[in-house]
Every structure is written in structure tokens, then in C-alpha cells.
């Protein structure tokens, strides 16, 4: 690594010289470095794909006033709320075409990309660097990390392997690759500028790698590589005031990516640990009032009844200083670490309570993921997410919220729309749905039925929606 870095800086001093004046040893070193990058490109480019997405715009639907003022619901309903004023449906507009990049991780056609690249897609096409096109299916997606896993038919595809993002050091060389709009590979080089970037509002769980390797439009979902050609991140976004590249690219680290992808492959969805606390960052005055040396740590402002935190004896006012022996830098980092832990796993917290240092062990509950990868749900054209304990308490009932409805699907034709809350399924008897696990269990009983009846709660009343299955 040191030799390569020295060669890069050395090459800068050669720019003002004619190549006739360059020492042969320096040219040999530069040629070797160039050949190494060429070999890396030859390996990585065939495994990097372009993703074309067709999005069928939904017709305007009948709307009214949203009783929920929670930001959680607004991101589903949009500015108009849950029940905006209804209008007559208009003629269906033409499909919109969007796209991004991705990369193959197995020889039998599994492709990693960003969730925002394929979200709301009615059709997804994966285009290889050779120009071959394949229609892809979504095996699973996770909105909280902005990751998705696709599958294309076939075998013997070139693929990339993951490196260890935890071992990255500031200043390491990084290579960003994309295949935007099917126009061919786009490869740029830079360095790792920083790690652990959070609180950007891009995803619920953020731990971004920052690089100055140019990440251009259409490169979202492509791989960020180390000099060994291993995937250390998934290119996701840029920070820019102009909309163009300004030297700050953001990538999801490979460790987080592998965690999500392995869960989707193993169980069809992502399951997360849940402690059941409301966290508050420590500002300067609060840290000083609590007699803390700095603003690191996270203040517990509330503990949910019956949660893992409550059972472990955590209390409002406790300050979490360490998680599993590692310092807690801030609220976002702690939330991400807990969320990426498996339900049922035990965590050790070092806390400060009334100027006393205590150690508390807690067994995490399950906060099942954002997107339930259930074949029946995919068949009818909806995706659902769990309500958190806080959100369920705020609105006064449990259920799962519809996070997307595929245009022209059976669910769309039945009148279901994004943001509605499913509280039950009508089979031979009413089956209450409090979370995704309840929904999956209830669906087993109706999988062979001609019709599926979903019970949807709206304000102070509920409504039955009948979906034709066959």
C-alpha cells in the first residue's frame, strides 16, 4: 500500500517533465501500478451491472384529512395526509423509466443494489456489461439501510466478493464503479476520507463510508472497492449543493451490507434487535449538568413498558456510555448497533445513573423488519412494515402499515394504498394482526383461498378490503 501511495504522489511531480526525462525505474513502477488497476477493472466491470426500472405512476386516488401528525406516517402519505380529498381517477400515465447500478455477488445471479433504485418498480431489468438483459425479481429489500437484493436467471456469472469494511483506514485507496443508464462502466478512484458518517437523513440506519472517488448520477447501487478488488461498500449518495459531484460520496459499509443480504437469503426478511427506549443526544449543557467529561453517550428519556429495556431495569435518566465494551459516540451510532443486532441476543450496557457507574445486561426483543418478503404479499402487490411500540401507542392500536402498493396489482385494484394500517385478516374467523409475524402466520391459513380479506383501520372505524387471489 505504501509503495502505491508513494507512486501516486511521485507521479504528480512527473507531470511537469517530459517522459524522456522520467527515470526508467519510475516508469516501470507507474506501468506496474497501471497494469494492476487494469487487472482490477477487468475483474470488476463485468460483475457491475446497470439496472433499468419501470415505474407505473399511480392514478390520483380519493383522499381526506390525515388524523396522524407523526412524521412516520407523513413519509408514506405525503403532504396530503392519510385521507386527502378524493378526486376522480384520471387516465393512466405512461410508465416512467429510472435506473441505477448494482453488482453480482454470486455466480447464479444474485445482485445487490440500493432500495431507492428499485423502489416502486413495476418491472426491473438488469443489463450486464456485455449488453445482455435479464428481467429481475426482488428477493428482499430493506428501506432502513437502503439495500435490496435482486435475482436474475442463469448461472456462471462473474461476481465480486466482500472485503472487511471494519478494517478500513482513512487515506486508503478506493475505487467506485457504476454502470449508469446502460452506457458502460464508469470507474473512478479516490481515497477513504472518513468513516461512520451519520445523521444525514438518507436512511434510518446510517454508518456511511465517505470517499472522494467520484460517484456520479446513475452510480447508486454500484460497488466501492479496495485495491484488492473486494467490495467494501455500496455507493449510495453524494453530498452536494449543486446536484453534481463535489468530492463527497457516501457508501454503505460492506459489514452492514452482508448482514442485511445474509438475512434476506436465509429467512426472506431482515430482523432487528429492539431495546425499547427513547434516546436523546447529550448537548454541552446537559453533559455538564450530569458531570460528564464530554458529550459522548446517549441519554434515555423514556423506557417502553414491557420492553427489553424495562425488563433489564433501565430507567429514564440513565446515560448509556458503552455498548458491549465499546464507547457510545452518539445516539445514531447506538441505535444502528442495536438495530443491526439479532433479536434474542444479549447486550451489555455500561450506564451512568445518579453519578454511579453500573453494568446492565439486556436480551433484545425483535423489531421485525421494514419489508416482509412474503410470497403472497408479493403476489397481491403490497409491502408492509411494522409499527414501532411508540407509534402504536401514539395512535392507539397495533398493526402493520402498507409501505408500497404495486400499480395495477390485485391490491391496487381493491383500493388499498400506501400508508393504510392493516389490523387483521378475515379467514374462517377474524385474525388480529399486531405485527409482521402475525400477518405471516395468518396468511398461511388463506394462501389457497380465492379471496383475501384485509381489515384496515381508518381513524375510529375499520374497513374490509377484498382482494381477488385467482
Residue 373, pLDDT > 90, answer no
| pLDDT band with cut points at 50, 70 and 90 for residue 85 | very low
pLDDT in tens, 270-282: 888 889 888 888 8
Most confident of 22-36, 62-76, 156-170, 394-408: 156-170
How far does the chain reach from its first CA to its final CA, in angstroms?
60
The pLDDT of residue 14 is 42
CATH of 372-468, one of 2.60.40.10, 2.30.42.10, 3.30.70.60, 3.40.640.10: 2.30.42.10
For the chain, what is the mean pLDDT? 80
* Residue 298 CB partners (closer than 8 Å, separation 6+): 279, 280, 281, 282, 319, 320, 328, 330, 331, 334
The single-letter DSSP state of residue 91 is P
The pLDDT of residue 335 is 85
Residue 4, pLDDT > 50, answer no
Cell triple for residue 146? 437502503
Most confident of 344-358, 420-434, 444-458: 344-358
The pLDDT of residue 228 is 92
Residue 12, pLDDT > 60, answer no
- Residue 424: Cβ-neighbour burial (10 angstroms; 0-12, 13-18, 19+): buried
The pLDDT of residue 63 is 40
| pLDDT band with cut points at 50, 70 and 90 for residue 371 | very low
Cell triple for residue 441? 402466520
Q: Where are the domains of the chain?
A: 2-46, 48-57+92-268, 272-367, 372-468
Which residue numbers are catalytic?
116, 146, 220
CB atoms under 10 Å from CB of 409, counted, come to: 18
Are 48-57+92-268 and 272-367 equal in CATH topology?
Answer: no
Q: What are phi and psi of 12, to 5 degrees?
A: -65, -40
More confident residue, 361 or 67: 361
Mean pLDDT computed over 65-70: 46
Q: Which residue has the cell 470488476?
A: 44
pLDDT in tens, 294-342: 888 899 988 887 889 999 999 999 999 999 999 998 887 888 889 888 8
pTM beyond 0.85, yes or no? no
Cell triple for residue 93? 400515465
Question: What sign for the dihedral angle of Cα 7, 13, 19, 21?
Answer: negative
| pLDDT band with cut points at 50, 70 and 90 for residue 67 | very low
Mean pLDDT computed over 28-47: 87
Instruction: Say how far apart CA 369 and CA 384 lie, in whole Å.
Output: 9
Q: What architecture does CATH give domain 48-57+92-268?
A: Beta Barrel (2.40)
pLDDT in tens, 225-275: 999 999 999 999 887 655 556 668 899 999 999 999 999 998 888 888 889
The pLDDT of residue 5 is 36
Q: Which of 38, 17, 409, 343 is nearest to 187 (CA)?
A: 38
Mean pLDDT computed over 143-168: 94
Instruction: Say how far apart CA 262 and CA 257 lie, in whole Å.
Output: 8
Cell triple for residue 374? 412474503
Instruction: Say how far apart CA 323 and CA 277 lie, in whole Å.
Output: 14
Q: Which homologous superfamily does the CATH classification assign to the domain defined by 272-367?
A: PDZ domain (2.30.42.10)
Q: Which of 315, 320, 340 is nearest to 330 (CA)?
A: 320
The pLDDT of residue 243 is 57
Q: Is the CB of residue 170 less than 8 Å from the CB of residue 192?
A: yes
Mean pLDDT computed over 27-45: 85
The pLDDT of residue 223 is 96
Cell triple for residue 290? 450530569
Amino acid at each position: 500500500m505504501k509503495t502505491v501511495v508513494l507512486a501516486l504522489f511521485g507521479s504528480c511531480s512527473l507531470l511537469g517533465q517530459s517522459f524522456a526525462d522520467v527515470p526508467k525505474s519510475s516508469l516501470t513502477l507507474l506501468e506496474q501500478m497501471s497494469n494492476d488497476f487494469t487487472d482490477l477493472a477487468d475483474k470488476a466491470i463485468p460483475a457491475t451491472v446497470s439496472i433499468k426500472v419501470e415505474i407505473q405512476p399511480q392514478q390520483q386516488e380519493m383522499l381526506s384529512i390525515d388524523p396522524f401528525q407523526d412524521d412516520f406516517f407523513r413519509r408514506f402519505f405525503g403532504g396530503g395526509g392519510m385521507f386527502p380529498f378524493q378526486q376522480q381517477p384520471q387516465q393512466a400515465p405512461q410508465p416512467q423509466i429510472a435506473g441505477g447500478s448494482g453488482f453480482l455477488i454470486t455466480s447464479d445471479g444474485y445482485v445487490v443494489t440500493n432500495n431507492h433504485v428499485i423502489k416502486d418498480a413495476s418491472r426491473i431489468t438488469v443489463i450486464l456489461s456485455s449488453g445482455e438483459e435479464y428481467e429481475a425479481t426482488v428477493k428482499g429489500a430493506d428501506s432502513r439501510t437502503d439495500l435490496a437484493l435482486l435475482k436474475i436467471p442463469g448461472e456462471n456469472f462473474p461476481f465480486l466478493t466482500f472485503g472487511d469494511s471494519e478494517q478500513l483506514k482513512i487515506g486508503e485507496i478506493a475505487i467506485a464503479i457504476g454502470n449508469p443508464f446502460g452506457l458502460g462502466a464508469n470507474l473512478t478512484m479516490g481515497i477513504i476520507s472518513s468513516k461512520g458518517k451519520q445523521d444525514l437523513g438518507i436512511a434510518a440506519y446510517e454508518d456511511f463510508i465517505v470517499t472522494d472517488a467520484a460517484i456520479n448520477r446513475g452510480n447508486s447501487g454500484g460497488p466501492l472497492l479496495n485495491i484488492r478488488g473486494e467490495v467494501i461498500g455500496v455507493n449510495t449518495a453524494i453530498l452536494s449543493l449543486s446536484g453534481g459531484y463535489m468530492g463527497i460520496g457516501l457508501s454503505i459499509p460492506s459489514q452492514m451490507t452482508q448482514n442485511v443480504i445474509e438475512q434476506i437469503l436465509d429467512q426472506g426478511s431482515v430482523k432487528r434487535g429492539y431495546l425499547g427506549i427513547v434516546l436523546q443526544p447529550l448537548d454541552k449543557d446537559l453533559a455538564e449538568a450530569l458531570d460528564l467529561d464530554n458529550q459522548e453517550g446517549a441519554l434515555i428519556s423514556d423506557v417502553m413498558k414491557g420492553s427489553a429495556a424495562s425488563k433489564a431495569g433501565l430507567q429514564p435518566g440513565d446515560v448509556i456510555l458503552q455498548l458491549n465494551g465499546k464507547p457510545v459516540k452518539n445516539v445514531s451510532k447506538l441505535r444502528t448497533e442495536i438495530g443491526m443486532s439479532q433479536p434474542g441476543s444479549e447486550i451489555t450496557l455500561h450506564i451512568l445513573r445518579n453519578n454511579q457507574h453500573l453494568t446492565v445486561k439486556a436480551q433484545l426483543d425483535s423489531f421485525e423488519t421494514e419489508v416482509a418478503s412474503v410470497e403472497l404479499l408479493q403476489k397481491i402487490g403490497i409491502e408492509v412494515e411494522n409499527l414501532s411500540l411508540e407509534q402504536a401507542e401514539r395512535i392507539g392500536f397495533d398493526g402493520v402499515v402498507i409501505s408500497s402498493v404495486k400499480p395495477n396489482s390485485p391490491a391496487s385494484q381493491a383500493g388499498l394504498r400506501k400508508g393504510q394500517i392493516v389490523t387483521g385478516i378475515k379467514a374462517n374467523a377474524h385474525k388480529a394482526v399486531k405485527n409482521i409475524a402475525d400477518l405471516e402466520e395468518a396468511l398461511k391459513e388463506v394462501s389457497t383461498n380465492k379471496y383475501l380479506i384485509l381489515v384496515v383501520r381508518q381513524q375510529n372505524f375499520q374497513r374490509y378490503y377484498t382482494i381477488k387471489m385467482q
